[in-house]
Structure formats: structure tokens, C-alpha cells
Structure 1
Amino acid sequence: MAVFRLFWAEEGGLPADDRGLAYGDGLFETIRMVGQKGVLLSRHLDRMARDAKRLGINVSRRELATVCTRAGQRFSEQFTDDGWILKLTLTRGGGGRGYRPDPGMVPNLLVSASPLPPTPDASGVVVDFSRVPLTVNPLLAGIKSLNRLEQVMAAAELGQSIFEVIMSDSDGNLVEGTRTNLLLRKHNGWVTPPAASLAVAGVLRQWLLERLRQRGEAVAEKPITVEDVLGPECQGLFLLNSVLGIVPVRTIAGHDLPVDGGLATIFNPLETLE
């Protein structure tokens, strides 16, 4: 069974030779916790184990689940009943110089806890279009890797009145926010960008698509254009994030959008605790 070196953030950070620090050689998960249970926890663990394998980082889902249990016991009493955030940062490990990893490297896992962010306005939020283009390497599509410089640059556009900015690909299609996936409601059903076009394929996104299809609603995974959002067929635009939940957009780039609170009845974080 694979092993890793475990680091608790409050006891110190990763070693100076860590490849995650040097090259972004790793990935992370951010999990909303309530007490010792996590929202959509199994999906977070599945994604980290699956995407670690895609990167060639040897770690087992069972080991990750054990760490989450230990983290819940360690941190839960430090926070209110509203919950807290558990972050797992997994890197290929430390040692060596240069891009080529040494054979047989032991991964590093950094575990940290923080308070929940403020709850978004249920009546809808204000967003804008980002000036930073998003380029997704097909080999890395969907992986929540440590390579997030495009999102960092786009997030610099956020202000006190702007909740999120929406990033576009080279063709001008709307792909995702700096920390959110997109779901558009049209007259004939729901539309979300295909997973292959995403920098991060969110666990809430996949969970919600499954639920909508189970309810018999039409869901299409295809590109979303600016015209789709600003045109007359738009019945609502939603931002998806497993920590923040399902967030309706009230205004985008100065244009008012219809706000529909129906999705709030589908996703209740407390009903997805594991």
C-alpha cells in the first residue's frame, strides 16, 4: 500500500524541497465540513485519488479517508456548528532538482483547517467577465492541480461589489469562474460547459447534473456563449461550488439576469454529509 508523509499545517509547512512548492507538482481538495463529516466527502476523495493517479502520484483513497477522519477529530471542536473548511494538499514529494521526478518518491500530504467563508446572498450575486483567458491542457482537464496562476490573475479583478469573474476560452466561450463551475438555465433545459473544457470539474457540478437527470430534466454539456447568457433564452445563471453551494447570478457585467431559487431546493449541504 502506498504511504505518504503527513504534515499538519499548524505544526509547520511543507519541506523546502517539496515539488508542489517548486513546480506546482500536486493537487488539492477543499471540503466543507460540519463537525466531523464532510459535504460530498466521498466524491472529493474519489476525485483526489483518481486525479493523483492521472498525475502518477501513488496514494490510495483509503489512506485519504483515514486522514479526513483524523482531521475531523482534530479540528471540529475549534469551529462553530455552521462548519469549517478542510483542505488537503497532496504533492509528489520532495527531493531532487529539475522537472524530472526521482523514481520511488514518497508523496507529501499537507492538512489544514479554516473557517467557512461568508454565505453568498441568496437573492443573487454580481459577477463580471474576466479579461484573463483560460487555457486548459487536455492532459490536465478537470484536475484540481496546484497550477492555478490563471485563476490567481483573474481573482485580482474581484472587488468588494464583484463576487466572481467568469473566464473564457480562446474561442470566447464561457468556461468557469475563478472558483466556480457554471450552469445555465434555458427555456429547453440546462446547459453546462463540457468537463473536457474545464480547469476544475467540480464535485457539486457532477452531483447536480446527476440529480437533474434523475428528475427527468434536459441537461446538455456544451459550450456556453456570451449571447446565451445575455440573450432572451436565459432563465438564470448559477455558480456551483461545494463550499459555497449553488449561487444564482443577479447581474453580470451590468446586465440584470432572471433569478430562480428552485435549485436551492435540490441541494441541501446538510443532506450530503458523510
Structure 2
Amino acid sequence: MARIFWAEEDGLPAGDRGAAYGDGLFETILMRGQQGALVARHLERMVRDATRLGIPVTRRQLQDAYAQAVNRYGDASSAAPWVLKLVLTRGAGGRGYRPDPGMEPNLQIQAAPAPPRPYPDGVDVEFSRVPLTVNPLLAGIKSLNRLEQVMAAREIQDGLFEVIQSNARGELVEGSRTNLLLATDAGWFSPPRADLAVVGVMRQWVLERLRARGEQVTESPILPEHVLGDGCRGFYLLNSVLGVVSVGRLAGQDLPVDGGLATICDPLQTLE
């Protein structure tokens, strides 16, 4: 059973492996009142990825913790969006990197106001100088080990909204906090799951929505020339809190902007 810590009351204990080694996971859920967007998917991902890391937690335990958080932070009479963050660590203990057997996980719960929604006419984005390396063993896991993203995010200055990271092959993989989606005349393209540091909940939902509408959706590598070339019909950033964000300018080049996808894939339409 995970031990719950409320962020405004007490921090995680000294020796917590999440703080020491990034040994844990996190989820950020967009909320409005006492409802959350894509909650089931967030909790299912945390259980699935915790299993991959060998951290014992059940869906029932997370569901109970989520219910406590909603009662604690949610205001049913308010329409203002807010963000709920769940941080699950392996717990405290162990000698060096090696954890003790049978450790009790820690679950820290935080609440914060939601960030403002980006301008619908497109955001300014640049290529990052920080490459993204994905260990196949950890591919897709929203772990606490995010140093490459932290270093990339330090480049976000002077009105930039996001930076795009590439892998060793020069393929565009992710933004520092977003997944990628490219629209062309041949359909929609998103980098393969196996190449992603984080397989986003919003990404999966958007791809499913597009396929349900009969759209052609392909998971394949995206190169800079695919986005900056004449075949680009729109380039989008996907994030579970921000939703679908159109890129209006990349590396100083204007891109076509269409707000239709953001309208049909608004995360606040998924409240549960």
C-alpha cells in the first residue's frame, strides 16, 4: 500500500529514492471542479509503468488516492481548470542504487492552477540542441528521470513556447514536454512509440480520435524537412494539460495553422 504525502503539508522523507535517483513515476491530470480529463488512462498508465519498474501499486490504490485528492482540492462550483499531480516513488531505503526488497512506495499528491491556454493562432517553437536518448527498457515511461528534458527546457526563452528534441538519427522525437503530430496531404504522422521517452495519454487519445474519424494515421519517423517542406499542412504539440497546440513558427519559418484539431480534441471534453 502506497503511503500518501500531501505536498502542502509534508515533503517526501529523507532517502526517498524518487528524489535521490529519479526512481519513480508521475502523472499530471487536467481538472475542472471535481472532474478530471482522461483520468482512467492516466491511472492505468501509472499502474502499467509501475509494473515495468517493479513498484507495487494497484489501480484500486491509485483510484482511492485520486478520490481523496478530488475531495481535498476540487471545488464542484468552480469552472476554473487546475492540475493534479501524482508522484509515485519506490519509497525510501536501500544501499546506493540497490533498493531494499519489499519497500513501501510513497505517493505525493500536489495541486496547482492550470497554465493559460496557448494562443490559437500558433506558437513559436525552435529545434533543441539537446539530443534525446531513449533506453528501450524505459521507452514510453513517464519516469521522474527527466534530465534531458530539463536541459532542453532551459532553452525556452524570448517568447518560445517549446523546443523539439531529436534522436541520434536526426529524427524529431518529442518536445521537452509534448508529443508531436504532423499533418500532410497523405495523412497524419507521429513518431513511433518505441522511439518516445514518454508515450503521452493525450497523444494516444488524439490518434484514436483521428482513426475513428476515418483519417489515415501512421507512426513513422519525422524529419525536419517533413515539417519545414511544402508537404506540411500543420504541426502540432500534444500535452495532457494543454491539449492540442498548433505550431505557427518553427526555426524562424512560418507553418500553416489550422485550429480544427484543437477543437475536436479538447481535453476538457473528456472530463470524468
**2:8 partner SS:** helix
After superposition, what is the alpha-carbon deviation per residue over 1:99-140, rounded to whole angstroms, capped at 9, x for unaligned?
A: 111110010000010011121111110000000000000011
Q: Which moved more, 1:260-269 or 1:208-217?
A: 260-269
Distance in 2, Cα, partners of 1:8 & 1:260: 41
1:137 aligns with 2:135: yes
For 2:45, the equivalent position in structure 1 comes to 47
In structure 2, the CA distance between the partners of 1:258 and 1:112, relative to structure 1 (3 Å rule), is same
For 1:166, the equivalent position in structure 2 comes to 164
For 1:92, the equivalent position in structure 2 comes to 90
1:1-274 correspondence to structure 2 within 5 Å: 3-77=1-75, 80-274=78-272
After superposition, what is the alpha-carbon deviation per residue over 1:155-188, rounded to whole angstroms, capped at 9, x for unaligned?
A: 0000141000000000110000010000000111
Which consecutive unaligned segments of at least 5 residues does structure 1 have? none
* Pairs aligned (count): 272
**1:106 partner SS:** coil
Distance in 2, Cα, partners of 1:175 & 1:150: 13
Contact map agreement 1:36 1:69 (CA 8 A) in 2: no
- Runs of 4 or more consecutive aligned structure 1 residues displaced over 6 Å after TM superposition: none
**1:77 partner SS:** coil
**2:44 partner SS:** helix
Aligned-partner residue type, residue 27 of structure 2: E
Distance in 2, Cα, partners of 1:6 & 1:78: 23
Distance in 1, Cα, partners of 2:67 & 2:30: 14
**1:217 partner SS:** coil
Report deviation, 1:80.
Answer: 4.8
After superposition, what is the alpha-carbon deviation per residue over 1:240-274, rounded to whole angstroms, capped at 9, x for unaligned?
A: 00100100000001000000112023113232011
Q: Which moved more, 1:208-217 or 1:161-170?
A: 208-217
Aligned-partner residue type, residue 116 of structure 1: A
**1:11 partner SS:** coil
Distance in 2, Cα, partners of 1:7 & 1:23: 19
Distance in 1, Cα, partners of 2:187 & 2:75: 43
Contact map agreement 1:79 1:115 (CA 8 A) in 2: no
Aligned-partner residue type, residue 194 of structure 2: A
TM-score by length of 1: 0.97
Aligned-residue CA RMSD in angstroms?
A: 1.2
TM-score by length of 2: 0.98
Report deviation, 1:97.
Answer: 2.0
Report deviation, 1:81.
Answer: 1.8
Distance in 2, Cα, partners of 1:61 & 1:120: 33
Contact map agreement 2:203 2:238 (CA 8 A) in 1: yes
In structure 2, the CA distance between the partners of 1:250 and 1:225, relative to structure 1 (3 Å rule), is same
Aligned-partner residue type, residue 135 of structure 2: N
Aligned-partner residue type, residue 124 of structure 2: V
**1:16 partner SS:** coil
Distance in 2, Cα, partners of 1:160 & 1:119: 18
**2:74 partner SS:** helix
Distance in 2, Cα, partners of 1:247 & 1:167: 17
In structure 2, the CA distance between the partners of 1:79 and 1:97, relative to structure 1 (3 Å rule), is farther
Contact map agreement 1:194 1:223 (CA 8 A) in 2: yes
**1:31 partner SS:** strand
Identity %: 65
Contact map agreement 1:133 1:167 (CA 8 A) in 2: yes
